C-alpha cells in the first residue's frame, strides 16, 4: 500500500506553517522577544490581511497573529537576511477602545 508522503504532494502553497504554540500578542507586550520569521496576508476567520509572527519568548518558540499596521510595515521593511532579531513590543492606546502595537 502507498503512503501519502511517497506522493510528494505539497499542500498549502507557499504558506509557512509554524508548528508552535499560539499566544496572544498581549502576552509579550513589554517583553524582549526574538523575532524568528513571519508570513504575510493570512486569511483567518477574524479577517484578511493578518500577519503571523513566529517568536522566541522565555526560551520557547511560539506564534501570534497581528493586524497592527506598524508591526506589519516594520516586518515588510526588514530584509530576510536580518532575521532573527530582538525587539520589544509596545502597546499604544488611542481613544476609549483603540489600541495598536509596535516594535522598539
Q: What is the pLDDT of residues 20-31, one digit of tens each?
A: 999 999 999 999
Q: In this structure, are residues 83 and 37 in contact, taking their beta carbons and an 8 Å threshold?
A: yes
pTM here? 0.84
75 and 40 Cβ atoms separated by less than 8 Å: yes
Rounded Cα–Cα distance for residues 19 and 2 (Å): 26
Paired strand residues for 64:
53
pLDDT (tens digit, 9 = 90+) per residue, 31-48? 999 999 999 998 888 888
Amino acid at each position: 500500500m502507498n503512503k501519502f508522503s511517497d506522493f510528494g504532494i505539497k499542500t498549502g502553497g507557499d504558506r509557512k506553517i509554524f508548528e508552535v504554540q499560539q499566544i496572544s500578542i498581549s502576552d509579550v507586550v513589554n517583553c524582549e522577544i526574538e523575532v524568528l520569521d513571519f508570513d504575510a496576508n493570512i486569511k483567518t476567520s477574524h479577517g484578511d490581511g493578518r500577519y503571523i509572527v513566529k517568536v522566541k519568548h522565555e526560551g520557547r518558540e511560539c506564534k501570534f497573529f497581528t493586524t497592527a499596521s506598524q508591526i506589519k510595515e516594520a516586518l515588510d521593511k526588514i530584509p530576510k537576511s536580518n532575521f532573527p532579531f530582538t525587539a520589544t513590543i509596545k502597546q499604544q492606546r488611542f481613544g476609549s477602545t483603540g489600541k495598536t502595537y509596535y516594535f522598539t
